[in-house]
């Protein structure tokens, strides 16, 4: 719940509330109704209703089932923001090449409020069956998220599990701090994280870290149907993924690019 609002005279409360609502829609993997949005944000239900109707008219949200999802206008604005993002200008050729080489979907994700925010997805051109994650995904059940957890301090991990309560999305989902700590040692050693159908059945992902200097900045992943990844061979996919991540980290560091500011 996010009810805090800045007190500066220039701050327009209704705009702040609209963005708070849209952030909740971004985090959700299902449509959210007015009542649920009011509960999550702490914004009165009547105000939430009026905001949603305005956002719908502006195509910032779209009705779906019994709730709302982000609309086409937000996709358009997001694409415009990426076009002017210096990090994406460096990263995109690497993502395209990796996707073409492996013929799989490639995702680029950064940390956003204890979640993974996927800021770019490169789809394999010749695949009628593709597998992708929603734009905002929990850290504990996707490979890019596990990269971020692996490099957190014990204090940061304690805070994460105190605030968040992981649920078993599949029988493979790891939900305890102890299980993720054990896996984190292997991730740091090998430079690779796996999601073996932990977010959804039939979908597996492999991720590698992107560093700017010595600082973990992002993660890139290959995602696809489990059977197809197994057929291609994890050794081949991991080799291509690590080589891409290392080359991108090197160029981005040399060019001193910065990530988009989401604070």
Q: Residue 245 belongs to a domain with what CATH number?
A: 3.30.450.40
The neighbour count for residue 94, using CB atoms within 10 Å, is 22
Are residues 127 and 172 located together in one domain of the fold? Answer: yes
pLDDT at 80 (0 to 100): 53
Q: Are residues 214 and 250 in the same domain?
A: yes
User: For 206-244, how does the pLDDT look when each residue is reduced to its tens digit (9 = 90+)?
Assistant: 999 999 999 999 999 999 999 999 999 999 999 999 999
Q: Greater confidence, 63 or 131? A: 63
Q: Which pLDDT band holds residue 66 (cuts at 50, 70, 90)?
A: confident
Per the structure, the complete domain to which residue 20 belongs is given by: 13-77
**What pLDDT score does 6 carry?**
52
**Is the same domain home to 217 and 170?**
yes
Assess whether 100 and 162 both reside in one domain.
yes
Helix (H) or strand (E) holding 188: helix 177-190
Do residue 49 and residue 158 come from a single domain? no
Q: Based on the domain organization, do 106 and 224 belong to the same domain?
A: yes
Rounded to whole angstroms, how far apart are CA atoms 175 and 117?
20
Judgement on whether residues 202 and 186 belong to the same structural domain of the protein: yes
Indicate the number of domains in the chain. 2
Overall average pLDDT of the 136-156 stretch: 92
Q: DSSP character for 189?
A: H
The whole-number pLDDT of residue 130 equals 46
Residue 5 lies in a domain: no
User: Quick check: 189 pLDDT over 60?
Assistant: yes
CA atoms within 13 A on the CB side of 91: 33
CB 221 within 8 A of CB 205: yes
Predicted local distance difference test score (pLDDT) of residue 59:
83
pLDDT band at 133 (very low <50, low <70, confident <90, very high): low
Do residues 73 and 98 both lie within one domain?
A: no
What is the full DSSP assignment across 12-80? -HHHHHHHHHHHHHHH-SS-B-HHHHHHHH---HHHHHHHHHHHHHTTSEEEETTEEEE-HHHHHHHHH
Q: What is the average per-residue pLDDT within 163-188?
A: 91
Which pLDDT score, from 0 to 100, does residue 83 have?
Answer: 47
pTM (predicted TM-score): 0.71
pLDDT, mean over the chain: 85
CATH number, residue 34: 1.10.10.10
Q: Note whether residue 63 is domain-resident.
A: yes
- Name the packing angle between helices 143-150 and 177-190 (round to 10°): 90
pLDDT tier at 263 (50, 70, 90 boundaries)?
low
> Residue 85: its pLDDT value, please?
73
**What's the rounded mean pLDDT across residues 90-96?**
94
Q: What CA–CA distance (Å, rounded) separates 117 from 105?
A: 16
Within-domain flag for 68: yes
Q: What is the pLDDT of residue 10?
A: 63
For the ranges 106-110, 199-203, 232-236, the maximum mean pLDDT occurs at 232-236
Q: Judge if 153 and 212 occupy the same domain.
A: yes
Going along 186-225, which residue ranges are E strands?
A: 193-196, 203-212, 215-225
How many C-beta atoms surround the C-beta of residue 38 within 10 A?
20
Both 105 and 235 in one domain: the answer is: yes
Last residue of a domain, one of 30, 55, 77: 77
| Mean pLDDT, residues 169-177 taken together | 92
């Amino acid at each position: 719940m996010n009810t805090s609002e800045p007190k500066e005279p220039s701050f327009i409360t209704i705009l702040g509330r609209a963005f708070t609502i849209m952030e909740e829609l971004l985090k959700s993997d299902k449509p959210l109704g007015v009542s649920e949005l009011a509960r999550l944000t702490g914004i009165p239900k009547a105000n939430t209703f009026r905001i949603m109707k305005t956002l719908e008219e502006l195509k910032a949200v779209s009705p779906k089932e019994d709730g709302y999802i982000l609309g086409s206008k937000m996709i358009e604005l997001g694409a415009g923001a990426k076009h002017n993002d210096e990090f994406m200008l460096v990263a995109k050729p690497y993502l395209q090449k990796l996707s073409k080489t492996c013929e799989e979907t490639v995702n680029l994700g950064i940390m956003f409020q204890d979640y993974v925010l996927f800021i770019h997805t490169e789809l394999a051109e010749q695949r009628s069956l593709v597998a992708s994650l929603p734009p905002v995904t929990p850290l504990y059940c996707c490979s890019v998220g596990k990269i971020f957890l692996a490099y957190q301090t014990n204090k940061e991990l304690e805070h994460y599990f105190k605030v968040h309560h992981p649920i078993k999305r599949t029988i493979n989902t790891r939900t305890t701090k102890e299980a993720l700590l054990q896996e984190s040692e292997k991730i740091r050693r090998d430079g690779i994280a796996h999601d073996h159908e932990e977010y959804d059945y039939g979908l597996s992902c492999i991720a590698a870290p992107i560093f700017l200097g010595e600082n973990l900045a992002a993660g890139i992943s290959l995602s696809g149907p489990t059977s197809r990844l197994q057929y291609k061979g994890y050794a081949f996919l991991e080799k291509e993924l690590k080589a891409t991540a290392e080359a991108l980290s090197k160029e981005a560091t040399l060019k001193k690019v910065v990530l988009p500011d989401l604070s």
